Amino acid sequence: MSASVAAAGEAPAAARRRPRVPHLVRFLAKRLAVTVGLLWGVTVVTFALVHVVPGDSATANLSEQALNDPALVAAYRARWGLDQPVYVQYLRYLWNLLHGDLGTSQQTGKPVLSDLAHYVPATMELAVPSMVLALLIGTAVGMLAAVRHGRATDQVVRVGSLLGLSTPPFWLSLVVLYQFFYLLGVSPSGGRLSTDFSPPPTVTGMYTVDSALAGQWAEWWDAVQHLVLPVLVLTCLTVATLIRFVRSAMLEVLSTDYIKAAHAKGLPGFTVLRRHLLRAGLVPVITVSGLAFAALLSGTVLVENIFGWPGIGQYAYRSATALDLPSILGVSLFVALVYTVVNLIVDLVYGLIDPRIRLS
C-alpha cells in the first residue's frame, strides 16, 4: 500500500500515461464477464427448451423394437443420465462443463468437443469466404448505387438486391445445383471432396488451407471446386442485405456538409469517395456486419444440408431432430461464443476507425 503510494508520487509521468492501456483492459475484462454470463444463460435456456419440447430422446434414438423393451429403454435412460431429475442433470452438465467436458453426443457416440473440432472448421471454410465476399461486394455495389442515386445503376441495384433478399436460400441452392451440376456438369454435387481424394493431414481442419500447407494441389483444387456453389449461395444470402444497408448509410453521408466541403476543396471525386465517404459510411456497416454474420451462420444450416456439407449446421440439424441434448448444448454454446467474439471484433474495429470513440 505505502509502496504503491510512493511509486505513484515518484512517477507522475507514468501515472498520466496509465489510463490508456487499462482502458482497453477494463473493456475486455467487462466483455469477458458478460460473455461468461451469456454462455451460462445459453445453457439454462437450451436445457429448458429441450425439456419443454414434447418428445423424448429415447423415442428419437432407439428403434421401434428396442422401444418395446422397457429394460432397454431404462438402460438407455440410465446411460445418458435421463433417469435423474432435470436439476441434477443440469448441475451435472454444468460441473462437467466447468471442467472442459461438453459431454458425449448420443448421435455420434463421440465427445461433443471433438465433434465440434471436426465440424466447425468445415463451416468456417464456408462462412468466412462468404462473409468476406459479401462485405467486399456489398460495400462496392452499395456505394456505387448511392453515388449514382436515382439513376439507372441505382435502380438496377435496388431491384437486384430486393430479388436477392426475397430469394429463399434453399431454393437458390437447388437451382444452382440443378444448373451447374445436373445441366452443365461443371460443379460437384456436394460434399467437401471428391471420392477419389482423401482429406489432407489435419492442421486447421479447413481442407483448402490444409491441402495447400501439405502442397497437395490436386486436392486443393478439388476442395475449391466443392466450395464454389455453397459459398455462392451464402454470399447471395448476405450480400443483398448489406447492399441495401450500405446504400442508405452512404446516401446519408453524401448529404452531409463535410462531403460538400471535400468537393469544395477541389479534391478529385475518387479521393472524396475513398477517403471521406467510405470512412464515414463504413461505421454503420461494420455495426450491421456482426448481425449479418450471425444470419449467415444460421443460413449454413439449410445450405449444408442441401450440399451435404459436414459442418456445424448439419450437425445442429441432426442433433436437434434426435433431441441429442449434449450436442445441442455444444452447438448453442459455440454459436453464442461466435456471436460475442464477432461483436467484440465489431466494437474494436469501430473504435479503430472512429476517433470519437477511440479517444473517449
Partner 1 sequence: MLLATEGLTITLPGGVPVVHDVSLEVGAGEIVGVAGESGSGKSLTAQALLNLLPAGSTVDGAARFDGKDLLGLDRRGWQSVRGAGISMVFQDPTAALHPMLSVGTQLTEHMRRHLGLSRRAARARAVELLDQVRIPDPERTLRSYPHQFSGGMRQRVAIAIALAARPKLLIADEPTTALDVTVQAGILALLSRLRDETGLSVLFITHDLGVLSALTARTYVFYAGRVLETGPTPAVLSTPRHPYTAALLGARPHGATGTGALQPIPGSPVIPGAAPPGCPFEPRCSYAVDACRTAPPELARTGPDRYAACPVAPELEVSA
Residues that bind partner 1 (CB under 8 A): 256-258, 260-269, 271, 275-276, 279-280, 283, 353-356, 359
Assign 326 to helix, strand or coil: helix
Q: How far is the CB of 41 from partner 1 (least distance, A)?
A: 36
E strand or H helix at 221, and its extent? helix 217-254
Q: Are 230 and 304 in contact (CB under 8 A)?
A: yes
Burial of 220 (0-12, 13-18, 19+ CB in 10 A): buried
Minimum CB distance to partner 1 smaller for 19 or for 266: 266
- Nearest to partner 1 of 70, 355 (CB atom): 355
- Looking at the Cβ atoms of 30 and 151, the one nearer to partner 1 is 151
Residue with cell 448511392: 146
Cα 247 to Cα 244: distance, rounded to the nearest angstrom: 5
Question: Closest approach of Cβ 245 to partner 1, in Å?
Answer: 19
If the CB atoms of residues 17 and 260 are measured against partner 1, the closer one turns out to be: 260
CA-nearest of 306, 303, 311, 320 to 338 is 311
Which of 56/354 has CB closer to partner 1?
354
DSSP-assigned letter for residue 354: -
Supply the minimum distance, in Å, between the C-beta of residue 228 and partner 1: 37
Which of residues 51 and 149 has its CB atom nearest to partner 1 in the complex? 149
Shortest Å distance, C-beta 82 to partner 1: 56
Q: Are 242 and 289 in contact (CB under 8 A)?
A: yes
Cβ-contact 280, 270 below 8 angstroms: no
Specify the residue, 282 or 306, whose C-beta has the smaller distance to partner 1: 282
The three cell numbers of residue 333 are 454454446
**Which of residues 132 and 261 has its CB atom nearest to partner 1 in the complex?**
261
State the nearest-atom distance from the C-beta of 355 to partner 1, in Å: 4
Q: Nearest to residue 180, comparing CAs of 122, 129, 230?
A: 230
What are the DSSP calls for 2-41, one per residue? HHHHHHHHH-HHHHHHTTHHHHHHHHHHHHHHHHHHHHHH
| CB closer to partner 1, 13 vs 71 | 13
> Would you say 72 or 353 has its CB closer to partner 1?
353
CB of 152 to partner 1, least distance (A): 14
Give the shortest CB-280-to-partner 1 separation in angstroms.
6
In the complex, minimum distance from the CB of residue 262 to partner 1, in angstroms, rounded to a whole number? 7
Q: How far apart are CA 72 and CA 67, in angstroms?
A: 7
Q: 134: part of which helix (H) or strand (E)?
A: helix 112-147
Q: What single DSSP character describes residue 105? A: -
Cell (9 digits) for 195: 471420392
Cα separation of 145 and 79, whole Å?
A: 60
**327 exposure class (CB count in 10 Å sphere: 0-12, 13-18, 19+):** buried
Least gap, CB of 350 to partner 1 (angstroms)? 11
Cβ of residue 264: shortest distance to partner 1, in angstroms? 5
Q: Is 107 helix (H, G, I), strand (E, B) or coil?
A: coil
